[in-house]
Each structure stands twice: as C-alpha cells, then as structure tokens.
A and B are shown apart, each in its own frame.
Chain A
Amino acid sequence: MAKGLSVKGLKVAYGNIEAVHGVSFEVNEGEIVTLIGANGAGKSTILRAVSGMIPVKEGTVILNGTEITSWPSHQITGLGMAHVPEGRGIFTRLTVLENLLVGAFKRKDKKEIDGDLDYVLGLFPRLNERKKQLAGTLSGGEQQMLAVGRALMTGADILLLDEPSMGLAPVLVESIFNICIDIAEAGKTILLVEQNAAMALAIADRGYVLETGSIAIHGDAEYLSKHPDVLNAYLGGAS
C-alpha cells in the first residue's frame, strides 16, 4: 500500500461554476509538496475538497491506499491526514489546551494522546506557556502554531497547510516555515498551499503551480524556482 496522498482528475464546482478543472497531483510519504498560485486560482478549494469540507464533482482522492473521494471530513480524520484550514479556524472560546484536545477527539489511546500532547507543547513552547488561556487571546502567529499543533494531535502523518503565512508579520512567517521544516524532519508529510511562493519553494521538495483551476507547471522545487514563468508571475521577476 502506497503511503501518501494521490489526487486524480479532481473537479470541484461551486453551484454551476467549476472552480477546479481536473487537477492531478501526488504527495508521497516524507515529502514537502507545495501548491502555489495566485489568489483565486483554486488552491484552497482543492484542499477543502480533498479533506471533505466541500463535495468533489469528479475525480478521485486516495489517501494511504484508501479511496476517500467525497467522504465527509469527520470520517477522514483518523486515517492519517489533517487539514489546517485557511484563516487557522481555531476555536477562540476554548482554551489552548482544549483546542489541542479537540484534535485528539477521535483517538482512544490515552498514552498516545499524552505523548503527542507533550510533543506538540515541546514543539511550541509558547503554547505551553499559554495553555490555560482562551485561544482567542493568542496572537496571529500563536494561533497558527495552535492550528498546526491541533492538526498534529489528530495523529496524522500528512498535514495539509492552507496559507499558514497569511496575515503574519515577516519575522513570524519565517518561524512558521521553520516549523514546517521541523515537522517534516520529524517524519511528517506536508502539502503546503501558499501565496508566498518564494518561501514555499525554499522549503519544498516538489511543487505544482496552479492557474485558474488547472495545473500549469510542476516539478522539483529547484526547477520551479528557476522557471521563467514562475519567476515572472510569482517571484517578482528575474532579478
């Protein structure tokens, strides 16, 4: 059984308007793969369809060898994939610790949960300091850490990160990407959706460039970061 995420011919529509026109990509175990593209290219839509938040019109989604196309998201949780949604989606009226425990909602093994909780709080010491605080009082960067930590608490090996750098100060953006590297080094697989193409390509192994609902270019991160089209459109020109 091949570990990882494989998406074939994915089409997603909002009402009658098709937003994603037959996109295929693969994320293999241990990779950091990035999906870059302009605002409105359909990046978030793809992630939302993959994790069952919105219905798939056509195509297949295969997670660790199991076809999960159009499964409701609560059934996908626990199969090894977790989605950190755009805008972080933390539960502001719950404490930091409660947010993390919600992540472990489907898991039964108390020892494993405690182990992962220690791991997450070790990874994000800031969250450890604030674990009794309401999550709504955290800063943007801390909320992003919490969203990632919560996803890790589901026990997933594959993380889908939707615009983790959005709305963060440059110094924090860097620390978020460093966290991605740390998590990948700990053996996790990451699918990173980003508008910040330079940062995303700097840490990714491979990438896909999405233009108006279709994949325009794909390849190794190094290849992409030197590709003239990518340079012009996403990296501020060849300088």
Chain B
Amino acid sequence: MELLIQTIINGLLIGGIYITISAGFTLCFGVLHVIDFAVGEWVMLGAFITFIISTSTHIDPFLLLPLIFVMFFIAGYLLQPTLQRVITKNKSNALLMALAFTFGISVLFKGAALTIWGFNERNLVTILSGKSISLLGINIPSLRLGTFVFAIIITIVFLWFLQKTRFGLAVRAAAERQDVAGLMGIDSNMINKVVYAIYTGLTACSGALIGAIFSINTEMGVRYTIFAFFVVVAGGLGSIEGAIVAGILLGLLNSFISVYIGGQYVFLVLFLFLYLILLAKPKGLLGKGW
C-alpha cells in the first residue's frame, strides 16, 4: 500500500515537468504547425547551460530559471525566421520540411554538445537536493516536490498569458486561422517568432528541472523527444488541456512501469498505451485534438 502511494506521488510529481515540456511543444504545433524533432535537445541544452552557469556562479538552479528562459527565448526568436523560410519555401510539404529541418537541428545540437562536453554525466545540485519530507509514512523528496511546484508555476503563468492577455488572445486566434488573424491586424510572422521563442524558453526551463532530478548527459535528449511525442499525441494534437492530462498520465505510467514492471520496459509499455489510446480516442484523451 505504501509502495503504491509512493509510486503515485512520484508519478504525479514527475508529470508536472512533462506538462511544462508538452505545453510549449503543443503550442508550437498548434500555431506554427511544426513538430519540433529537436524538443529533447532543447531540454538537454537547457540542462547543460543551467549546469554551467550554476557551477561557475554558485547560484541555485531554481533561481536561474528566469535567466534560462530569457536566454532560450532569444535563441528561439532568432532561429524561428530560418525555420519559417524553410517551411514557406515549399508550401506543399511544409510539415515534412519542418520535420527534416528540426531533425537536422537536433543532430547539430547533440553533436555540438557531445563535442564540447563529452559523454560524462553531470549532476545539477540545488538547495533541495538530498532532502525529503515525510508525510504519514510517505517519503516525498523535496527536490521532486520543488521541481513540481516550479513546473506548475511555469505552466500556470504560461496558461494565464495565453488565456488572459491581449497577446495570448492573438496567439490563439492565429493558431486557428493565420490569414484571418492577419485581417484583424495580427502580424503572424511576429506571433510565430514569439510562440517559438516561448516554446524554446519553456523547454529549456524544463530541462533545468529535469537536470536537477536526474543526471545530465548529452544523450538525454532523445528520451524527452519521445516523451513529448507521447504527450502531444495522447493528449490530442494541438490541445493544451489534453497535453496537461497526458503529461500527468505519462508521469504516472513512468513511475508505475519502473516500479512494477522494470525500468527497461518503459518505452515498450508506454507505446502500447499510446496505441490503445489512439484506438479508443483518436483525437486524444479529451477528444479536443485534430
């Protein structure tokens, strides 16, 4: 019984981070119609940059989150026009071009990281590392709780921006019809740049959080690319609410599979679940996707 509760809590706490990754990834797909193959590499880069800054300045990784967001926001903002040109140059194959381009980006990022930082594992140490809270016999690692709280805060700020601000309204309008949004005075090129920038910023922040929980290495990215795909497809393409539900589900599945079946079966069972979800609910768990 205690193991069960422990597993559920671990799953929920980890799920929070998956939500942060998938919220940005989903928005990116919803607005730009780009499936970013490099999502996991943004996670990896976020973790590494956080590690480097944190070890050289001795500032706690949690406090670095705003800086990481800004840095990767700028990176995404500068990269997006190139991506945009690749997609619009060959309109009939926009989706495929985006996949090829972002796949190239992911190889580039991973290769560069491998060259610069090598294979060694690194650990991101925060003020919460190694501590834990005991609650009714259940052991909750402070670090996981902390990252969960940060992930939820980031996601709430993100949703607030999308739902309550004038710019967020423009983003949601452009997500549905860029041409009509243009008629309303919304510059879709600008929206696209900002959306991609928010996505890279959010993803890098979740990389910092992931790096605090697990170890960091240059090969870590692909795992999160697969997770992001799982969440976005299971939640329904383009549905942020669905991504939140699927993110929690992913955390729980991960935790349960690792404890009750074995860590090496995570992907196998995960994709069995994805298969079943797609059979039963092709538009995603909430039925709100495409």
Contacts and interface: CB of A to CB of B under 8 A. Distances in A.
A78 interface: yes
A51 B180 CA distance: 11
A105 B179 contact: no
A163 B84 CA distance: 32
Interface residues of A, number: 25
Contact of B180 (A78, A91, A93): A91
A93 to B, nearest CB: 6
Interface string A89-118: 111111000100111011000000000000
B185 interface: yes
Interface stretch (A27-35, A38-46, A69-77, A171-179): A69-77
B173 A94 contact: yes
Contacts of A206: none
A207 interface: no
Contacts of A141: none
B71 interface: no
Interface in B173-208: 173, 175-177, 179-188
Interface of A is mostly: loop
Nearest to B179: A53
A213 interface: no
B10 to A, nearest CB: 34
B90 to A, nearest CB: 14
B179 A102 contact: no
B166 A51 contact: no
Contacts of B188: 74
A85 B177 CA distance: 11
A78 B177 CA distance: 19
B185 A106 contact: yes
A165 interface: no
A105 B172 CA distance: 12
A102 B181 contact: yes
A120 to B, nearest CB: 14
Contacts of A52: 182
A53 B187 CA distance: 12
A150 B180 CA distance: 11
B161 to A, nearest CB: 15
A93 B183 contact: no
Given A89-B177, A93-B176, A102 B170 contact: yes
B107 interface: no
A74 B169 contact: no
B185 A93 contact: no
A33 to B, nearest CB: 20
A102 B177 contact: no
Contacts of A77: 182-185
Contacts of A93: 172, 175-176
A89 B180 contact: yes
A157 to B, nearest CB: 15
Contacts of A191: none
Contacts of B185: 74, 77-78, 105-106, 154
| Residue in A74, A90, A92, A154 with the greatest tally of chain B CB atoms within 10 Å | A74
Contact of A94 (B169, B179, B182): B169
B25 to A, nearest CB: 18
Contact of A72 (B172, B173, B182, B184): B182
A72 B181 CA distance: 12
A37 B260 CA distance: 70
A229 B48 CA distance: 74
Contact of B183 (A53, A92, A94): A53
A153 B182 CA distance: 14
A82 interface: yes
Interface of B: 166, 169-170, 172-173, 175-177, 179-188
28 contacts: A51-B183, A53-B179, A53-B183, A72-B187, A73-B182, A73-B183, A74-B181, A74-B182, A74-B183, A74-B185, A74-B187, A77-B183, A77-B185, A78-B185, A83-B183, A85-B183, A89-B177, A89-B183, A94-B172, A98-B172, A102-B169, A102-B170, A102-B184, A103-B184, A105-B173, A106-B185, A150-B184, A154-B184
Interface of A: 51-53, 72-74, 77-78, 82-83, 85, 89-94, 98, 101-103, 105-106, 150, 154
